[in-house]
A and B are shown apart, each in its own frame.
Chain A
Amino acid sequence: MFKSTSPLFGGLLWKIPWRLSPPQKARQRKRLRAVDEVVDTVSEALKRNGMPMAKAVERWYAEMPQEEEMLPKDKYTIYDRKEKSYRKGIHSK
């Protein structure tokens, strides 16, 4: 049965909630951890084969935090110069 609601009538009214849901956040953490895992694998493989460490890997360990060391702000929001607070959620357009 058709129920008249603003999203159905207005056409362009469908909203993305400003905050991420817990499963969205969990998936984001999973993606971050996957990147950490890739770097760990590469560095271990180089070590095991007796090769010098790649510069990109060294830089990663020197500069980048692991997923569990990151602040929630860094995990779930990104910089945007057009936003009022210079931060927007990773899910917003």
Chain B
Amino acid sequence: MSYFRITLMRSAIGLPQRTTGVLKALGLKKRMATVFHPVSLDVAGQIMKVKELVSVQEVDRPLTKQEVHLQRKPDPGYYIECHSGQEDA
């Protein structure tokens, strides 16, 4: 059982009510929002309705909101060797 990772790349402003409704049903409220849905015929049909607006990947498990956020976070440019009050091995 795998999942669709769906990200809204283009906004639906100015598009018909049907399109906005499909996005709402998928749970995509603003651009760059990411949702996970199990692979099924229903979801496939919904994606096909908004195929011009979204980017889709097939993934093994749904990520939490925090995990998606961490993936989008840029590299800080440093790494922590050890914290204060801690002996490094």
Residue pairs across A and B with CB atoms within 8 Å: the count is 53
A35-B52, A38-B54, A39-B51 known; A54 and B2 CB under 8 Å? no
- B21 interface hit (Cβ, 8 Å): no
Task: Tell me, yes or no, whether B1 is within 8 Å of chain A by CB.
Answer: yes
The answer to whether A49 and B2 touch (CB under 8 A), given A39-B51, A56-B45, is: yes
| B39 lies within 8 A of chain A by Cβ | yes
**Chain A 37-50: CB-based contact to B (< 8 A → 1; otherwise 0):** 11101101110110
Give the contact stretch, choosing among B12-20, B55-63, B67-75.
Answer: B55-63
- Tell yes or no: A8 within 8 A of B by CB: no
> Does the CB pair A57–B55 fall under 8 Å?
no
Beta-carbon contacts under 8 Å, B26-57 to A: 39-41, 44-45, 47-49, 51-52, 54-57
Number of interface residues of A (CB under 8 A): 20
Least CB distance from A11 to B in Å reads 26
Set B4, B51, B55: member contacting A45, Cβ < 8 A: B4
Residues of A within 8 A of B (CB): 31, 34-35, 37-39, 41-42, 44-46, 48-49, 51-52, 54-57, 60
- Given contacts A38-B47, A42-B44, A57-B44, list 15 more A-B pairs with CB under 8 A: A34-B9, A38-B51, A38-B55, A38-B56, A39-B51, A41-B57, A42-B4, A45-B4, A45-B44, A46-B39, A48-B58, A49-B1, A52-B41, A54-B48, A56-B45
Could you show 20 A-B contacts with beta carbons less than 8 Å apart? A35-B51, A35-B52, A37-B55, A38-B51, A38-B54, A38-B55, A39-B51, A42-B56, A45-B44, A45-B58, A46-B44, A48-B39, A49-B39, A51-B39, A51-B41, A54-B45, A54-B48, A55-B45, A56-B44, A57-B48
